[in-house]
Amino acid sequence: MIKINIKCFSQVKYALDTDELRLELKNGTTSVELEKMIREKSKGKLDGISMRIAVNQKYIPNDIKLHDGDEVAFIPPVQGG
């Protein structure tokens, strides 16, 4: 198992009602699989909302395998100004 810290921003924060989560995941879990779990947890509140993923404060262009202790941030675009 691997322990992952999750940072939630803007709509993700409100959809999950928290700005931080700690999850224990199966070895070999990928960033896209984690995004799927987050969307399921939100019970539809993130439907239609795109988001970028950063691992350890760096944007990742593709799906990557997560490692124990990684910090994964979910960042949706924001509209307001």
Partner 1 sequence: MIITPIELQKQKNDFTIVDIRSDQQRNEFPLKGIDTVIATEKGIHKISGKKVLVCQFGIVTEGIILENDMENTFSLLGGAQAWIEFQSDKEDLSQWSRQTVLPEIGIEGQKKLLNATVAIIGMGGLGCPAAQSLMSAGVGKLKLIDGDMVELSNLHRQPLYGVDDVNRLKVEVAKERLEQLNKNAVIESIDEYFNKENGLSIVRDSDIVIDATDNIQTRQLIDRFSKEANVPMVYGGLFRYEGQVAVLNVNGSPGYSDLFPDPPSNGETCEDAGVLGMLPGIIGNIQALEAVKLIVGMKHNLNGKLLIYDGLTHNTQIFQL
Binding site for partner 1 (CB under 8 A): 7, 9-11, 13-14, 19, 48-50, 52, 54, 57-59, 73, 75-81
How do strand 71-75 and strand 20-25 relate by DSSP bridges?
Answer: unpaired
* Cβ nearer to partner 1, comparing 7 with 41: 7
Structure tokens at 78: 């924001």
CA–CA gap between residue 14 and residue 76 (Å, rounded)? 12
Minimum Å gap between C-beta 62 and partner 1 is 13
* Cβ nearer to partner 1, comparing 26 with 47: 47
* Cβ nearer to partner 1, comparing 26 with 79: 79
Structure tokens at 39: 């969307």
State the amino acid at position 51 in one-letter form. M
